[in-house]
A = this chain, B = another copy of it.
Amino acid sequence: MRLSQFHLATVKEIPADAEIVSHKLMLRAGMIRKLAAGIYTWAPLGLRVLRKVEAVVREEMNRAGAIEVLMPSIQPRELWEETGRWEKFGGQLLKIKDRKESEFCFGPTHEEVITDFARAELNSYKQLPINFYQIQTKFRDEIRPRFGVMRAREFLMKDAYSFHLGEECLGKEYWNMYNAYSRIFTRLGLGFRAVEADTGAIGGNASHEFHVLAESGEDAIAFSTGSEYAANVEMAEAVAPSAERPAATATLERVDTPTQRTIDEVSAFLGVDATHCIKTILVRGTDGLVALCVRGDHEVNEIKAGKLPELPGDSQLADEAEIVRVLGCRPGFIGPAGLPDSIPVIVDRSAAAVANFVCGGNQDGTHFRGANWERDARITRVADIRKVVDGDASPDGKGQIRIGRGIEVGHVFQLGTKYAEALQATVLDNDGKKKVMHMGCYGIGVSRIVAAAIEQNFDASGICWPEPMAPWRVAICLINPKNDAAVIDAATSLYDELTARGIEVVMDDRGLRPGPMFADMELIGIPHRVVVSERGLAAGTFEYRARRDADSRQLSREEVLALFA
């Protein structure tokens, strides 16, 4: 592509509402242009990148055996009422009336439509398993659309839906999709993790979110330094310390801590590390109060605690009045030693491995020092009830946990029979009996990937595209082309040679001065830059610089070509 034949419109001024790097850079590079809140036109440069993502997604979905379809944007209300989601989906569902006052929505997702398609098209187990996908425009009426295409209202998504006779078959396809997704993000050149996610209210056996790792990510994720392990930080397992609990050697001793209530205050006051303090909180269980104990440097994970048999799912902290009534002391002075027998004591795995610890004295203004489990404090149950922290052992035994941030760009999910049941999508099994199909669903935010890739790959000069996503791999920059036929000839010859090798090249023949031209090529993130100038030609060289290199190098034509051999 000759840039003089393209429409590149980089800009200096960007609107104040562009908060994150990818949004700013996409506007500066002229990749997108806002039409309305959360609604963008993909300008030619942006679309080139979007199409590259789309192509990789399509190839890998096809390779995985999924079959492409194209479902409508506009979906009838009646279908959404069959699953109850016309009401339940909430304000994100853009509702529409046509000229006959029939009601429709602009599809934010396609479970209803594909299940309706499947109940009509599939009638025998012999047609299963099958996985239909599409790459299609969706609309979600976000309350606060922002971050450009990262949280847009109209966006491009790949959504796939698989159908199965039973759970086992669904499980197989689930991992097939998991592997396809891994290939997709690997091929796009992105740093990512497949993160175990909470299956939430929908249930199902497994759910993974695929996150592009980036500091600006909205989601905290825990991942291993030594393996593929990764999980939503709320989901990640905090494993038991490998070392046994040391012997109880210290004597239990009540000490005065008149104004010291927090772990920081107590540990500083008594000169004891937080790792040797026990933090105790009281929550309302299903049958009276329950004590949760974690190490002083840890935090209780409410989602994990909510799964304890002693607690309701939405357990609340006990309030001060309640604590004073039951224990006679205020929060900040609670400890597991000497609690009434009516209160179960749930101890985190790490907390349970501490000996000779400091904890609240269950009397205002006092703590215990030298306390020990069993001897001084009951343990009703040891459980994983804390949030993981940086440096924890990875649950798979390989490496350590790091807490990072991620941008969710994909999600694989075992839906089970939820939608097939509601729409009565059945097939006849081997015995001629009607069976409700099991379903999986698998989404990728195609347009969001473009923004996520930038969040992960940029510097002060602009975008640094991973090669597979770059609008072009190579930029050939012509110095003074309007007055120098030799420059044009040499550049054209190089362009033709690279193009013939299947390399996508852009030739900047706009006649800009070197400064603005290089700034543009850096801003739009072209991975390789080759400068053709009169001086270089006289010396028989081209100036080459990779986007992430600090310096340029003088290379012969053969050396340049060898970079793309």
Residues of A within 8 A of B (CB): 5-7, 9, 30, 33, 35-36, 39-44, 47, 50, 65, 67-76, 79, 91, 94, 96, 98-99, 102, 104, 106, 113, 116-117, 120-121, 127, 130, 132, 137, 139, 141, 143, 153-154
State whether B117 touches A33 (Cβ < 8 A).
yes
Residues of B within 8 A of A6 (CB): 67
Are A91 and B96 neighbours in the complex by a CB distance under 8 Å?
no
Copies of this chain, complex-wide, total: 2
| A153: contacting residue among B65, B74, B94, B106, CB under 8 A | B74
Residue pair B69, A116 in contact (C-beta under 8 Å): no
**Are B72 and A121 touching (Cβ within 8 A)?**
no
Contact between B74 and A121, CB atoms less than 8 A apart: no
Select A68's contact among B47, B72, B98, B154, beta carbons within 8 Å: B47
Q: Across the two chains, which residue of chain B brings its CB closest to A5?
A: B65
Show 21 A/B contacts (Cβ-Cβ < 8 Å), sorted by A: A5-B65, A7-B127, A33-B117, A33-B121, A35-B75, A35-B76, A35-B79, A36-B76, A40-B72, A41-B71, A41-B113, A42-B71, A44-B132, A47-B68, A73-B106, A74-B106, A91-B99, A94-B96, A94-B98, A96-B96, A106-B106
| Contact residues in B for A68 (Cβ distance below 8 Å) | 44, 47
Q: Are A154 and B73 in contact (CB under 8 A)?
A: yes
The reply to whether B74 and A39 form a contact with Cβ atoms under 8 Å apart is: yes
Q: Are A41's CB and B65's CB within 8 A? A: no
**A67: B residues at CB distance < 8 A:** 6-7, 44
Q: Which residue of B lies closest to A96 (CB)?
A: B96
Residues of B within 8 A of A40 (CB): 72
Question: Is B70 a contact of A73 with CB atoms below 8 Å?
Answer: no
B76 touches A121 (CB 8 A): no
Which one of B35, B47, B120, B154 contacts A113 once the chains associate, using CB atoms below 8 Å? Answer: B35
C-alpha spacing A132/B41, complex, angstroms:
12
Nearest-neighbor residue (CB-CB) of A138 within chain B = B73
Please, which residues of chain B bring their CB within 8 A of the CB of A94? Answer: 74, 96, 98-99
Q: A539: shortest Cβ distance to chain B, in Å?
A: 33
Known interface pairs A73-B137, A99-B143, A154-B74. Does A121 touch B39 (Cβ–Cβ under 8 Å)? no
Please report the C-alpha to C-alpha distance between residue A116 and residue B113 in the assembled complex, in whole angstroms: 34
Q: Given A121-B9, A121-B33, A44–B73 Cβ distance below 8 Å?
A: no
Most buried by B among A35, A42, A104: A35
Whole-angstrom distance between the Cβ of A563 and the nearest chain B Cβ? 27
C-alpha gap A172/B232 in the complex (Å): 58
Instruction: Report the Cα distance A139→B107, complex, angstroms.
Output: 14
CA of A143 to CA of B99, assembled, Å: 8
Q: State the Cβ distance, A382 to closest chain B Cβ, in Å.
A: 48
Instruction: Report which residue of A30, A71, A98, A113 has the largest number of chain B beta carbons within 10 angstroms of its beta carbon.
Output: A98
Q: How far is the CA of A395 from the CA of B73 in the complex (A)?
A: 46
Q: Which residue of B lies closest to A93 (CB)?
A: B99
Nearest residue in B to A51 (C-beta to C-beta)?
A: B68
Query: With a CB–CB cut-off of 8 A, which chain B residues contact A137?
Result: 73, 137
Q: A35-B72, A41-B117 are in contact. List 18 more A-B contacts (CB 8 A).
A: A5-B65, A7-B130, A9-B121, A35-B71, A36-B72, A39-B72, A39-B76, A41-B71, A44-B67, A44-B68, A50-B70, A73-B106, A73-B137, A74-B106, A74-B139, A94-B96, A94-B98, A99-B141
A127 CA to B143 CA in the complex, in Å?
Answer: 38
Given A36-B74, A74-B153, A132-B7, residue A69 in contact with residue B41 (CB < 8 A)? yes
Assess the A69–B96 pair: CB atoms within 8 A.
no
Question: Across the interface, which residues of B come within 8 angstroms of A153, CB to CB?
Answer: 74, 98
A42 to B132, CA, bound (A): 11
Chain B: minimal CB distance from A146 (Å): 15
Report the minimal beta-carbon distance from A277 to chain B, rounded to whole angstroms. 48
Whole-angstrom distance between the Cβ of A387 and the nearest chain B Cβ? 35
Chain B residue at minimum C-beta to C-beta distance from A139: B74
CA distance A406 to B36 in the complex (A): 39
Q: Compute how far the CA of A333 lies from the CA of B513 in the bound complex, rounded to whole angstroms.
A: 82
Shortest beta-carbon distance, A38 to chain B, in Å?
9
| Most-contacted residue by chain B among A43, A72, A143, A154 (CB, 10 A) | A72
Q: Nearest Cβ distance between residue A46 and chain B, in whole angstroms?
A: 8
B141 and A33: CB pair below 8 A? no
A139 to B139, CA, bound (A): 15
Q: Which residue of B lies closest to A40 (CB)?
A: B72
Cα–Cα, bound, A96→B103 (Å):
11
- Are the C-beta atoms of B35 and A121 separated by less than 8 Å? no
Cβ of A496 to closest chain B Cβ, rounded Å: 17
